[in-house]
Amino acid sequence: MLPCPIAKSTRFGGWHPPIAEGVAVAAALLMAGACAGCRQARPVVAVIPRTCGTALWEPEHAGAASVARTRGLDIYWNAPMSDDDIQTQISLIEKSLDRGYAGIIVAPIETLPMRTPIRRVLARGVPAVVVDTELGIPPGPLLSYVMSDEKAGGRMAARRIGALLGGHGDIAIMGINPPMMSNTARERSFEDTLAKEFPGVHVAARKFGLPSAPEEQQVAEQLLSSGEKIDAIVALSLASTRGAYYALVEFDRERVVKLVGFDQDLIPPIRTGGIDSVVIQNTFAIGRIAMDLMDGEIHGKSGAAEILVQPVLMTRDNVDSPEVRQILNLSWWPTQ
């Protein structure tokens, strides 16, 4: 007889003992079968960037994983295949909630559509860390923000442009994207710094951002073929940086028109000088800090946090520096 309290009882809810015995045996067998697959699961944190498999976002995976390993947390790392697919990103958040993950770290593709999903996450008592943009929801015990310091990035780009042009010249700004607060912060900081510190640099054209590099390439092509004098281009997004660069190569003007971009993507043109510099986000540090905050939120030890991470201006001179290589590191797996 199995050592089961039910089986020891001579009466079971008024049933005759043999019935109780039979039921007990069946229940024990069923429980034994069910518990054969039981396993103590580690808490899982969903980390959902704008997309996966890129130089911009894989370091976030590495940073988050480096902290998760030391805190006994597992990571679910997935994202839309395209960095403009907000609907898929929202679906991944909903899927993470349904699966009962312990927390969600997300880098919203757009600011406004992500408000409701994140509010729902918080309403379910699931902690969240929002990366790279502020949603307008105040931080609290369950919500923190980790962002690249876009104002600092804007200042870096402005000072680089000012230095490249010697304080005088005409520039174009591409990739302006009002739905993303972080992009707006970049743009405003860039223009404020330029106006204050380099009043001789004139913004000749401002172009809205488009989702893909080819579309941005068309924008740049039109810009370069418009006859307007352009000494430098500041591209505020990854797609606009790539599109502008392709257009400069296409028009054979990459040595003439200086290009300062944002967000790490193409590395070889920086070595060749085709792209002068790129303000890169330290997504490795962002991932680390986000997971650290998440661990605190899961264990109720974290207060409201809004942390800014300094970006780095990547140029031909520092592309192989330890600092930049650390940022570009994508080893999310444990290293022996």
Among 9, 184, 315, 329, binds other proteins (CB under 8 A): 329
Query: Interface with other proteins includes 16 (CB under 8 A)?
Result: yes
Comparison of 76 and 151: residue with beta carbon closer to other proteins: 76
Cβ 43 to other proteins shortest distance, Å: 16
- Of 5, 35, 39, 320, which one interacts with other proteins (CB under 8 A)? 320
To the nearest whole angstrom, how small is the minimum distance from the Cβ of residue 212 to other proteins?
5
φ and ψ of 185, to 5 deg: -60, -40
User: Could you count the other beta carbons within 10 Å of the beta carbon of residue 275?
Assistant: 28
User: Which tokens belong to 95?
Assistant: 């899927």
- What strands lie across the sheet with 201-208, from one edge to the other? 201-208, 169-176, 232-235, 258-262, 277-280, 312-315
Piece of 146-154, 189-197, 198-206, 325-333 that binds other proteins (CB under 8 A)? 325-333
Which residues make beta-bridge pairs with 172?
205, 233
Edge-to-edge strand list for the sheet holding 143-148: 74-77, 44-48, 103-106, 128-131, 143-148, 305-309
Q: Phi first, then psi: what are they for 182, rounded to 5°?
A: -65, -35
Stretch that binds other proteins, among 2-10, 11-19, 138-146, 275-283 (CB under 8 A): 11-19
Q: Shortest gap between Cβ of 302 and other proteins (angstroms)?
A: 25
Cα distance between residue 73 and residue 95, in whole Å: 18
Judged by beta carbon, residue 26 or residue 195, the one nearer other proteins is 26
Tokens of 137: 């929801």
Comparing CA positions, the residue from 320, 324, 296 lying closest to residue 139 is 296
30 binds other proteins (CB under 8 A): yes
Residue of 271, 318, 322 whose CA lies nearest to 156: 318
Tell which one of 246, 260, 282, 309 touches other proteins (CB under 8 A): 246
Task: Report the DSSP beta bridge partners of residue 306.
Answer: 145
Instruction: Please pick, from the candidates 85, 110, 170, 191, the single residue that binds other proteins as defined by CB under 8 A.
Output: 85
For residues 171 and 234, the answer to whether their CB atoms sit within 8 Å is yes
22 binds other proteins (CB under 8 A): yes
Choosing from 3, 5, 14, 125, the residue that interacts with other proteins (CB under 8 A) is 14
* 184 part of the interface to other proteins, by CB under 8 A: no
What are the beta bridge partners of residue 279? 262, 313
If one asks whether residue 321 binds other proteins (CB under 8 A), the answer comes out as: no
CB of 23 to other proteins, least distance (A): 7
CB of 49 to other proteins, least distance (A): 10
Report how far Cα 252 is from the mean position of its chain's Cα atoms.
33
Cα distances from 294 to residues 156, 208, 265, 281, in angstroms, run 30, 35, 27, 20
| Residue 33 interacting with other proteins (CB under 8 A) | yes
Judged by beta carbon, residue 50 or residue 186, the one nearer other proteins is: 50
Window 106 to 165, contacts with other proteins (CB under 8 A) = none
Which residues within the stretch 261-280 sit at the binding site for other proteins (CB under 8 A)?
266-269, 271-272
Least separation, in Å, of the C-beta of 30 and other proteins?
6
Q: Are 302 and 296 in contact (CB under 8 A)?
A: yes
Footprint of other proteins on this chain (CB under 8 A)?
14-16, 18-19, 21-23, 25-26, 29-30, 32-33, 51-55, 58, 61, 65, 75-82, 84-88, 210-215, 217-218, 221-222, 225, 246, 249-251, 266-269, 271-272, 319-320, 325, 328-333
